[in-house]
Every structure is written in C-alpha cells, then in structure tokens.
Structure 1
Amino acid sequence: MIGTRLGSWVLSRELGRGGMGCVYLARREIAGEPQLAAVKMLSVALTHEPGFLQRFQREIEVLRKLDHPNIVRLYESGIHEGQHYYIMEYVGGSNFEAAYRARGRLPWSEVVSAAIQVCQALKHAHDHGVIHRDLKPSNLLRADTPMAGQPFTVKLTDFGIAWVFAGEHMTRTGAIVGTAEYISPEQAAGKSPTRRSDLYSLGAVLYTLLVGRPPFEGEPLDLLHKHRYGQYERLSRLVPDIPAGLEEIVDQLLQKEPDRRPPDAAVLQRRLEALQRKMDYRTSAQTQEVLARQDTDAGEEERMPQIGPATLAATVIREELNQEKYGGPVRRFFNHPVVLLSLFLATVALIAWAFWPASEQKLYERGLALVESDPETAWEEYFRPLLEKYPDTPRRAELEQYRQRAEEAREQRQETRNARLATPASEAQWFYQKGLRLRQEGKTAEAEKIWRALVEAFKEVPSASVWVKWAEDELKKPSDWELKGEKRWKPVRQALERAASLEKEGNPEAARKIRDALRELYRGDPTAREVLKE
C-alpha cells in the first residue's frame, strides 16, 4: 500500500496494524507546504462483515459531527479498490497508556492539565449529542505543542462505539459496550449510557494515570462486578502528595450512582481549573517564601561569630553524651524495668493467644461469619478443619451443606472464568464466541462463516493468534457437532430442582417464575423439551 494515492494524499509509511486494518502516515503539499495525515483503512476481509463495517462507518459519522481542537479532526473518507478508509488529523507523539506504562504514575499537575482538555472535548461531543462510551488512556493522544495555557495538547480519538442521541444504535438493548477497566457501572449493567457515563470513565482514567494502574483489576466479568459494587483503594494511600481537592474530584467521578457525579463536563472543567489555579498560586507562594528564607539565613550567617573547630567538636561530643545518658522523656519511660517487663509479658500473651488452637465453637462462628460472602474460604479455613478435628460434632449435617455450597461456588467461579462472554477482551475473541453461540443454536453454517472470516482477517495478528487457532479447530469438527450429555443439562436440572424445592416450601409463584424463565430461554431448542418436562 505504500505509495498508493488517495486523492491528493500519498501513503508514505505504516504507523500501526490491528485486527480491523492498518493506519498509515500520508503526505501532501498545499501551496508548497507539506501536510501530514493519518489514514485508517478497514481490512478487505472485514468489508462484508456488518459488525466491523458498521463500527467503521459509525466512527466516520461521529467525526463529521465534531470540530474541536481537542478532538482528532476528520479530513475525508472514501473507498479505494473496495477498501474503506478515512483520513484524519495526524498527532505526533504517543498516547497516555504508553506514557503511564513507561513512566509509572504521572505527576498530578500533568494529569490535571490533561483532564481539563478532555473535559473540553467531552463538552463539545456531548453538546453535539455524542457519548464516547470508550474513554481510556490509549484513546487520549498527546502532542508536545502547548495549547490554551496548558503545557501540552490532548486529542480525543476512537469514536468507533460512540452513542449518538436519536441515532440508529449498533448494539441491542442489554449489550455491554466499552473497555472493562474503565466502563461505568450503568454500562456494566447493560443500561443505556449518559453523559455522566463518560465522566465515570474519565475518573477511572485519572485514577490510572495518578496511580499507574486502573482502580480495579481482574478478569472482564470480575471487573464488571467490581465497577458496580467494588471499592477501590483510596488515592491518598497510594499517592501521598496528591492534593485533597483532586482526590475529592476523582472520588466524585467514580460514584456508582450517576446522579452523584458532576452534572456535566463543563462543571468538572471549572472545578479542575480552579484547583489548578489554587495549586499554582500555592507553589508560587512557597517558592517565594523559600527564596526569602534563604536570603535571611545568608544574612544571619554573615553576622554569626566564627566558632573554631575544637570548640565545635567539644560541643557536639557533649550533646551526644548527654543524649546517650538521659535521652528524651519517651525513651526514659520505655527504658524503665517495670515497663519493659510489662511489654514482654504482653507480647508473650499475644503470641500464645494467636497460636492457641481454636475451639469447635470458634471455628464454627468464624466460618458462619464468612460463609455468605465467601463460602469457599469459609469451608477451607474453618468448616473443613472443624470436621477433621471434631468428627463427631452434632453440626455435621449442617457442615455438609456448607461443603456443597463451597463446591457450587467453586464451579460457578470456574464457569465465569471460562465464559468471559459479557465483555470480549478483543474483537477476535468476540467473533469466535459469536460463532460458538450460533452453533449452539443450530446455525452451523452461519457459525462456520464467522470463523472463516475471523481466520482470514486476523491470521497475521499476533495478539489474536489463540482465537484464530481455536476458530480453525472448530472448523475441523463435524458440522453436526453439538453439546450433549449430562454436562450441558446439569445447571438446567439444578434450576428445576430449585423450583421443586420452592413448591414444597409453599412458594409456587417463585417456582413458576423459574420454569417460565427456562422455557423462554430454550423456546427454540427442541433438544431441551425432554429435560424441561422432568
């Protein structure tokens, strides 16, 4: 593609390559002055895939609506020999993900400067009915050119999954769109995003840049749960020199309820600018105070009488001897024999208490306090030792139930880890799993079409190699492959057993809801009829 001409632009070199295609640097001359641009080209293999093409066209549609110095500008778009492309502003430099990965946590003053510019970009986008939905450090480009009183320029990019008010949305209701580390709680719950969803993501980005890692870490499904219910570690514990006002702003941005976040990006921008002015003034005042003190100290030093080296040495030695002999009041208190003996006895008692074997009642109480939140740990650390140490305990039947709960929790955790369907880690993974869902629905031909396109599109992308290999493995399986046996129907039978148990307990309404939900889920699956009749 190098040397290809797109209108007045000529592709000069490749800037990057990903699952959806390539980005090239392009050049042209206007009135004798060279001009640079970035050209994003969709892979030919993905042109006929609605999901990819629609996302690509959505980004073009959104960029056409926006014109702001903190948002990457669109120049033009088109199709070249069947390959879709668009030409946008080229931003020299890197993005903020590369910055914090290379440098660790960034200075808070730099983070505030970046946040103010992102607020300006978000306000412009929101005013034009666009919600970004995927704000993250890699989508914030940094150029070293100063702008509007800030030491550098930030450009917001990648509007491929942006939500346009009153527009035709590319995701169905309940779908989860965004990057798991920075997604808002309402997006994690599958709800429609709002302006304040972008503000939550901005809060997660600021936390990441200040600390050097996101507020929550883990598997995608774990992250969705943490964003909705988890508590991140306080900034002041990780960054001791952070201004209290900045920590307060980030805490407000990361509120679970949208109504408790700032109302819009403009309000947030004003608060950040006020904080920046306050801290700049304080820094300036402190600098002046230090300079004045240095001048005073220098004057006093000139007026001090000269002390000879012998006199100075004698004074220092005398002070050391006095300190060693008497010490301060705290030291004299702790050196008293009675105090030392008391501390020794208290330490021995504490060690003995810590290692004293727990009684049957203590083990039971500790396990009971933990079983609701973490049945696996409750079983392994308390209930299992209780059964092993007291095999004749009258609570044996109850403990067996807790063992069963621990096993079920372990199975559920493993299933969650294996599924990873709610928030794909990559485009290749999402399409691989889409093929799995289609084949489980009996749509084998459609599944194989998806997998062939995935292999063709991503076979040269190292980060997608595992999903390419798995897609190739699926294509080698018999076309009539389907899940069979007890493993598939085990959770369905467990749900039916729960419904039967509820009926026996006198709660037929709850039992009916479970059965109705199962019938709805398996309405189009004839293989489930016999199981649902059990």
Structure 2
Amino acid sequence: MTERSQPGPGYVLAGRYLLEERLGRGGMSTVWRARDQVLDREVAVKVVAEMEDAEVTAERFRRETRVTAALNHPNIVTVFDAGVDNDRAFLVMELLPGSTLADELRTRGAFPFEEIRSIAIQVSAALGAAHHAGLVHRDVKPGNIARAADGAVKVLDFGITHIIDEAVADSGSPLTATGAVIGTAAYLAPEQARGMRVDQRADIYALGCVLFALITGRPPFQGPTAVSTMMAHATEPVPNIQEARPDVPPQLAAIVTAMLAKDPDARPADAATLEAALRAETAEAVTQLLPPPVVVGEDTAVVPAAGLPAPMRAYPADAPAPVVAAPVVAPARAAAEPEDSDVLLPMEEEEEGSRRGLLIGLIALAVLMVVGFAWWLLSGDPQLTADRSPTAAVPASASPSVDASPSVSPSPQTTEASPSPTPSPS
C-alpha cells in the first residue's frame, strides 16, 4: 500500500489475514470480514486510520488485547490478535453472525420490556467484569453491542476508544483529532462531554442511554449537531421516560432514570449493583439498590460544574420515590436515526478536487464547533470544574472520545453488508 491507498479485498494484512469483504467503516477505522490463513477461520479485522506512530498504537492494541483476552467473559467479544501493517494498526477479533442493536433499532424500533431487561443484565455483567479488571469502555452504544449465534449479546471494542484518543493526541493531526472529538454524542456521559476524567459510572450512563433508546426507539438527547447533543447531556433534564412510553414498568423506568443522573454519584455505584437492581423482583428491592432520585426544588443546594445550571436536588434520605401509574399503550415505534454518519470518511468515489474541498469544509466546520464547545467548557469557574471530578477516577483522555458526526441517534457505522459485523468502526 502507498501512503494514500486503502487496503481492499484480496489484500493480505500482515501476511496472514486475507481481507474479503468490507463490513463497515467509520471516521477512524474500517471493519473487514477476513480469513486467518494460519488457522483457516473467519475473523473480523478492525483497521485503524494511519497514525504518525502506528507501532505505538499497535502496542497499545496489544496491551488491551492481553487485558481483554484475560476477561474470558461470555458477553464480551473475544480478541485474538493485534499488530501493524504499513503504518496502520489493526485488531483481530471474533466475527459474530448476528446484527448489532443499532441495526435492530433501525428495523424494529422500540423493544419488548423483557428483552430489554435481558439485554441490560447481559451488558451489565460484561461491564462489571471489565470494570473489575480496570477497563472502562467509554463508548457503550447500540453499535457496540451485537448478537451471538445463540441470540445472546456481546459488548465490542473495550479499550479501543481510549487507544484512539492516545494515538490522536500523539499524532496531532487536525483531521483525526476532529474525528476523535466529535461523534457518538447520543451516548456520551456529561463528564465526558465536559472533558473530565471518567470512571465506570460513565459506562453506566451510556448504557442508560442505550436502554432509553431500546424502550422508546431513540436516545434521550438528539440535537442538530453532535456538540449541541453533548451540551444537552451536560445541562438539560433527562426526558421523562414514562411520558415517552407510558407502559414502561415503573421499576425499569426508575433504574434507567437513575442511570441517567447528571451527577455520577447519583447513578448506581457500579455494574454489579446495576445488575442486581435489574434482577430484583420487587420495587422495594430496586429502591434499596439505587441512590435517592432527584427533583427540582426551591432549596437546591447542588453546586454546578463549570458554571452550568444545577436544576435538581436530591430527595431527603427518608423520602419515598414517587411512583407514577402508567397506562398500557402500544409500544413506541419511532424509527432510530443513524448513530453516527461519519462525516470524515474517506470518499474514494469522489473526484479528487471535490473530495479535497469537502474535507476542507468539514474540517473548518468541525474546528468551529470544537472551539465553540471549548469556550462553553471554559466559561465557568475552573475551581468548580475541578471539584466535580469523580473520586478515584480512572485516567482518560482529556478529549471526549466520539465518532465524527452531527447525527446522534442509534447506528454506529455505514453498513455495507448484512448481517452486520460485530465490531463497529470507531
């Protein structure tokens, strides 16, 4: 491959993996169906866009491969190998035959409640295993949750977002930096949107957004741009899920609402607690496992972060959570829109001049959006921002890790084949 060429069908990656079919692509990577010529089996290969130091990125992939492989969890996709080929790092993982939840949201809309509960329990178990091993996903979304052959779900791309963040920071490339900053905003925790350090509770928030989408057919926040959606996560009250779908069971509504709390301390403490709440049979058991809910009040005493408004306060510890009786109605069938449209994709089909002009325009637009968002982030009191950092936070990149896109609803990538691959481009 030359510096500007892209690997295509028939190319043998690292002398071992024969690329057969491009399954999807995103702003930072492309996913291929490939054949491992050594073990003679089909695999999925994620090829990351060129970085200035691909060997460093590949070493990060190898490091995460070792950690992820050690998890050996039935709800986490298996990673086989990592390496570098012609300045492109790649990751090799199992190829699942089923679709992603993003694909299913596009075709099915809202899910049945028992199926949602089953999916939530499986993903919570996967996150719990990863968090126990010190991994925070940072990009939980419908496109990173896929079906295995038996119908169970598996979580994809543990550690990938963090690796790309590090590679982008090292490369200093305006194009790749834009792709890393703007993206899957529909599933981004408020602390990620603010560029703060994150811990496992950011994954719990993101899973809450996924469950909201499965219940209602769309994520809780959808703005005209990725930046406006990120700002909504950080500043706007969570929509009432019982208004969006009145027949939602009150226990499930209470769990999802707690997962979507702006303050990480108001969310379930960890994935194990979340899984226990999802398995609980009674409202009393759920209430005991969740932090007290929050409401708007005149005596609000919450200190806002980064100069942002604080519209909610906690109930007193002895106050019962309100329960709203929900009438039974037909499930919502609102069509899910693309999770990310990957505006920074390479466009081989375009003429060189139009491609260059479009890329320049996209970069200029993205820079304006990022500058505006940065101004918003820095306009508040920096001391308040520091005070809101979660205790014992897991180090993360200063920039939120998202895919390039002004679109923020479920659908992780441009799908080019059916069924969808397990891994989704980042």
For this structure pair, what is the TM-score category when the shorter chain's length is used for normalisation?
0.5 to 0.7
* Residue aligning to 1:160: 160
Corresponding residue SS for 1:192? coil
Q: Structure 1 209/55 Cα, relative in aligned 2: closer, same or farther at 3 Å? A: farther
2:251 corresponds to 1:245? yes
List runs of 5+ in structure 2 lacking aligned partners: 1-7, 171-179, 285-339, 364-426
Q: Structure 1 472/272 Cα, relative in aligned 2: closer, same or farther at 3 Å? A: closer
Matched residues in 2 for 1:53 and 1:181: separation? Answer: 32
Comparing 119-128 and 34-43, the one that deviates more: 34-43
Q: Which structure is larger by alpha-carbon Rg, 1 or 2?
A: 1
The one-letter code matched in structure 2 to 1:223 is T
Matched residues in 1 for 2:110 and 2:267: separation? Answer: 24
Q: Structure 1 180/79 Cα, relative in aligned 2: closer, same or farther at 3 Å? A: closer
* Residue aligning to 1:268: 274
> Which of 198, 211, 225 is 1:206 aligned to?
211
Matched residues in 1 for 2:57 and 2:85: separation? Answer: 18
* Residue aligning to 1:134: 139
Q: Structure 1 53/141 Cα, relative in aligned 2: closer, same or farther at 3 Å? A: farther
The one-letter code matched in structure 2 to 1:197 is A
Q: Structure 1 277/12 Cα, relative in aligned 2: closer, same or farther at 3 Å? A: farther
- Alignment RMSD: 3.8
> Which of 113, 120, 127 is 1:115 aligned to?
120
Q: Structure 1 114/426 Cα, relative in aligned 2: closer, same or farther at 3 Å? A: same
* Residue aligning to 2:47: 41
The answer (yes or no) to whether the contact 2:43–2:94 under 8 Å persists in 1 is yes
2:30 corresponds to 1:25? no
Matched residues in 2 for 1:473 and 1:235: separation? Answer: 38
List runs of 5+ in structure 1 lacking aligned partners: 147-151, 279-424, 430-456, 476-534
Give the drift of 1:3.
4.0
> Which of 2, 27, 34 is 2:9 aligned to?
2
Matched residues in 1 for 2:20 and 2:282: separation? Answer: 41
The one-letter code matched in structure 2 to 1:458 is P
Matched residues in 2 for 1:277 and 1:171: separation? Answer: 46
Give the drift of 1:204.
0.8
Matched residues in 1 for 2:276 and 2:222: separation? Answer: 31
Q: Structure 1 13/473 Cα, relative in aligned 2: closer, same or farther at 3 Å? A: closer
The answer (yes or no) to whether the contact 1:180–1:220 under 8 Å persists in 2 is yes
Give the drift of 1:268.
0.5
Corresponding residue SS for 2:147? strand
The answer (yes or no) to whether the contact 1:141–1:157 under 8 Å persists in 2 is no
Corresponding residue SS for 1:191? coil
* Residue aligning to 1:106: 111
- CA deviations on 1:350-393 (whole Å, 9 max, x unpaired) are xxxxxxxxxxxxxxxxxxxxxxxxxxxxxxxxxxxxxxxxxxxx
> Which of 458, 465, 473 is 2:346 aligned to?
458
The one-letter code matched in structure 1 to 2:19 is L
Give the drift of 1:60.
4.5
Matched residues in 2 for 1:466 and 1:238: separation? Answer: 42
Give the drift of 1:128.
1.7
Matched residues in 1 for 2:269 and 2:37: separation? Answer: 45
The one-letter code matched in structure 2 to 1:156 is L
Using structure 1 for the length normalisation, give the TM-score: 0.47
Comparing 52-61 and 111-120, the one that deviates more: 52-61
Matched residues in 2 for 1:30 and 1:168: separation? Answer: 31
> Which of 357, 377, 384 is 1:469 aligned to?
357
Corresponding residue SS for 1:181? helix
Corresponding residue SS for 1:93? coil
Corresponding residue SS for 1:459? coil
Give the drift of 1:159.
3.4
Matched residues in 2 for 1:472 and 1:137: separation? Answer: 30
Corresponding residue SS for 1:131? coil
> Which of 49, 69, 78 is 1:73 aligned to?
78
The answer (yes or no) to whether the contact 1:23–1:38 under 8 Å persists in 2 is yes
Matched residues in 2 for 1:258 and 1:205: separation? Answer: 17
Using structure 2 for the length normalisation, give the TM-score: 0.58
Give the drift of 1:81.
4.8
* Residue aligning to 1:14: 22
The answer (yes or no) to whether the contact 1:106–1:209 under 8 Å persists in 2 is yes
Percent sequence identity is: 34
Matched residues in 2 for 1:242 and 1:473: separation? Answer: 44
Matched residues in 2 for 1:181 and 1:154: separation? Answer: 20
